[in-house]
Structure 1
Amino acid sequence: MKQERILFVTGKLAEYSLREVLEKLAPQVGFEFEVIVLNVQVAALMHVPLVKRRLTVPDGIDWIMLPGMCKGDLQVLIDHFGIPFKRGPKDHFDLPEYFGQEGKAPKDLSQYDIEILAEINHAPLMSNAEILQQAEHYRQNGANLIDVGCIPGESTKRAGEIVRMLVDSGYRVSIDSFDRAEVEAAVGNGAELILSCNQTNLDWVSKLGTEVVAIPNLPSDFDSLCTIVDQLVQSDTPFRIDPILEPIGFGFTTSLERYYRARKEFPDFEIMMGIGNLTELTEVDTAGINVLLAALCQELQIHSVLATEVINWACSAIREFDYARRLIKYAIENKSLPKHIHYQLVMLRDAKLNERGSDALSNLAQNIRDPNYRIFAEENQLHVMNRDGYWKGTDPYELFDQFSEANPKGLDASHAFYLGYEMCKAVTALTLGKQYQQDQPLNWGFLSQEEVSANERRRKQGEEPQCGPR
């Protein structure tokens, strides 16, 4: 039996990943395919007149699928080409669902190129137990090496002790200090990297036989970095380069140029980037910043970053960068946009909302025959319904008064608590643009917490579920 031959029309950015989807999907569904890329970057920008002008249909095509957001009357194309046209889903990653197949297979995100150095800030002021706890937190969240941050302008005798404790506990360790006694003690106890080296300490730090991070005397003085690199090469000292990432408003853009210049001038040397100057000093959620910094590092072959989690808005920064480095490596190696690979860093909002629409909600409300309350969050409103009525609005207190008045004896304390909890989640979903599903936790990316549903609790207690849809 001859298989259908479908022509998929797309834009330049989507071609590679569309082919990847189709190569797996076509044998499963049982069709043959061709892909034609029109001269547009983004498939969503297509419209019927453009397709009519630019498309040439190969022989043997049974029908043509256009991107779901292609605008215009498809009948114009059907009449012009004499062949059926259809709109596909808005996103080609939803083609398996369109053709009745299961969702996408998970991507392999086990690989990364960028090492994370996680700094324990002001470590000498912490107890040994606190240091070990912080180090383990960093390791569990993706850190490859623990950086012992000392106190600028002070000298402590604990540096060597702290490093030895961490090394004995199985951690790789670096020391962040310009104090000679601290650095020498740290190196003597197993520190494998020294942060940092410039003209002020080059004479003695280069004699320790340990890798150093070369930095300029001043962030803006790139020539001094070149001089330090030459001297480290001559002394046969292992090193990596850090041109210094500056905070926004204090030379940020210029510092990016320095990293680009460093890679051009030193193509064979390792480079490190201290990303805390952005994540710690920018009053914004840090996940997006970490993705952009990971992309910059991956493209410039910067193979290590120094990160920390001091300020509260950056309290998950290490794990964010761990996800980001894997996401970006996968995207670049597979010639794919960093999109629809995994959603662990989409935390504030959700990647996609599935809404029933007003007609479907009204129809559902008309057909409910039991007292269980259904809650939906759509169209900037809360929707609550059961056999006694359908209530919608933006104020959960008002809604509660309305549906409890309709059935004053139908709510005991536990059920009222449940409904209040669910409406709180629904309001949060509406506020942030998240998908709300009754009796299920909201999705916060990698920060999501498992939640036992109210119905599951009742089942475990041998009771009949009564909360929400069954």
Structure 2
Amino acid sequence: MTRILFVTGRFAEPALRQVVPPLASELGFAGDIAVLPITVAALMHVDWLLRKLTVPNGVDRVILPGWCQGDLSRLEQHWQVPFERGPKDVFDLPDYLGRPDATPPRLDDYGIEILAEINHAPRLSVDDLLRQCDELRQSGADVIDLGCIPGEPWTTIGAAVKHLVAAGFRISVDSFQEREVTDAVAHGAELVLSCNSSNLAWAQHLPAEFVVIPDTPPDAASLDATAAAMTAAGRTVRLDPILEPVGFGFATSLARYYDVRRRHPDAALLMGIGNVTELSEVDSAGVNFVLAAICEELRIGSVLTT
């Protein structure tokens, strides 16, 4: 049986240990993993490898990170074993090693729920709402958030929510207006954005989940007090310390999420990422990736976007 040594650094080690064992079993080789004292494997160089790498006896082939620099023939002369650069992405190893019919990555295995908001929802017909809901769901939304308009009561919100729920959509409502929220919940809305001390008196009596926010972004005490009151009333809550746009307290607001997670290690959290993506004149894919990474590390289980 061919014995292959895979060389990596500390950051890529978990991914490599996830990929190599099932691949070795499937393709019939023995896979060893050498984790060298470097964080980013892409920064390896042949000169450094000559000092740091140890190749065990019996290895038939050594696969280095794809970005490794230098003349590999020096390594081959030193160890008398074939060396090669593998793919630049560890998850491309199956293709690189010739596994037939490689399984594409699953896109339905995720841990962050996406709430997609329809802005100015009261001004849309039910047909328009259904069309937008379908487009958002096709784009990955799990819950459709109906954004209401302050000062413009949506008197037919109950009928609209009833139609959307009947069509198979999960619905949340974004409003502080008691009548709107009450009608939406009565007709199937499962989540309400948002609750603070200003609407606590009536919100705590409605049979729905609520997103709890502070009275003002820096006021952590009000967030905790409202969440405690809602929980005592039997309501399920998600905490949202409020993400601020870049240039308006963005870094400080990220620190608030960290602090809330520290103070409430088991609480459900939501982050309104649209506050950053909508107000940043850059490619949103990169911004969304970084915010999703923060959510993963802080175990923020849902995001609100548009």
Provide TM-score, normalisation by structure 1: 0.59
Give the CA deviation at 1:154: 2.7
**RMSD over aligned Cα atoms:** 2.5
Matched, 1:122 2:128: no
1:86 corresponds to = 83
Aligned pair in 2 of structure 1 residues 103, 48: CA closer, same or farther (>3 Å)?
farther
Distance across 1 between alignment mates of 2:174 and 2:27: 58
Give the CA deviation at 1:101: 5.0
Give the CA deviation at 1:273: 1.4
Greater radius of gyration (CA): 1
Distance across 2 between alignment mates of 1:300 and 1:229: 19
Distance across 1 between alignment mates of 2:205 and 2:25: 63
Task: Specify every segment of 5 or more residues in structure 1 that has no aligned partner in the other structure, as ranges.
Answer: 309-470
Give 2:197's aligned amino acid: Q
1:230 corresponds to = 228
Kindly indicate whether the alpha-carbon contact (under 8 Å) linking 2:65 and 2:86 is maintained by their aligned counterparts in 1. Answer: yes
Give the CA deviation at 1:64: 3.7
Aligned pair in 2 of structure 1 residues 303, 27: CA closer, same or farther (>3 Å)?
closer
1:45 corresponds to = 43
Aligned pair in 2 of structure 1 residues 227, 130: CA closer, same or farther (>3 Å)?
same
Matched, 1:307 2:300: no
Give the CA deviation at 1:44: 2.7
RCO comparison, higher one (Cα < 8 Å, 6+)? 2
1:195 corresponds to = 193
Kindly indicate whether the alpha-carbon contact (under 8 Å) linking 2:63 and 2:86 is maintained by their aligned counterparts in 1. Answer: no
Distance across 1 between alignment mates of 2:91 and 2:109: 23
Query: The residue matched to 2:238 in structure 1 has which SS?
Result: strand
Distance across 1 between alignment mates of 2:209 and 2:68: 56
2:210 corresponds to = 212
Give the CA deviation at 1:71: 3.2
Kindly indicate whether the alpha-carbon contact (under 8 Å) linking 1:70 and 1:87 is maintained by their aligned counterparts in 2. Answer: no
Aligned pair in 2 of structure 1 residues 283, 85: CA closer, same or farther (>3 Å)?
same
Query: Number of aligned pairs?
Result: 305
Provide TM-score, normalisation by structure 2: 0.88
Distance across 2 between alignment mates of 1:213 and 1:63: 55
Aligned pair in 2 of structure 1 residues 231, 6: CA closer, same or farther (>3 Å)?
closer
Give the CA deviation at 1:35: 2.6
Give 2:127's aligned amino acid: A
Give 2:276's aligned amino acid: L
For 1:377-421, what per-residue CA distance to the aligned partner results, in whole angstroms no more than 9, with x for missing partners? Answer: xxxxxxxxxxxxxxxxxxxxxxxxxxxxxxxxxxxxxxxxxxxxx
Give the CA deviation at 1:257: 1.1
Matched, 1:177 2:175: yes
Paired-residue identity, %: 51
Distance across 2 between alignment mates of 1:154 and 1:227: 30
Distance across 2 between alignment mates of 1:63 and 1:126: 63
Give 2:117's aligned amino acid: E
Give the CA deviation at 1:89: 3.4
Aligned pair in 2 of structure 1 residues 155, 69: CA closer, same or farther (>3 Å)?
closer
Distance across 2 between alignment mates of 1:127 and 1:157: 13
Kindly indicate whether the alpha-carbon contact (under 8 Å) linking 2:19 and 2:91 is maintained by their aligned counterparts in 1. Answer: yes
For 1:284-327, what per-residue CA distance to the aligned partner results, in whole angstroms no more than 9, with x for missing partners? Answer: 2222222222222222222222221xxxxxxxxxxxxxxxxxxx
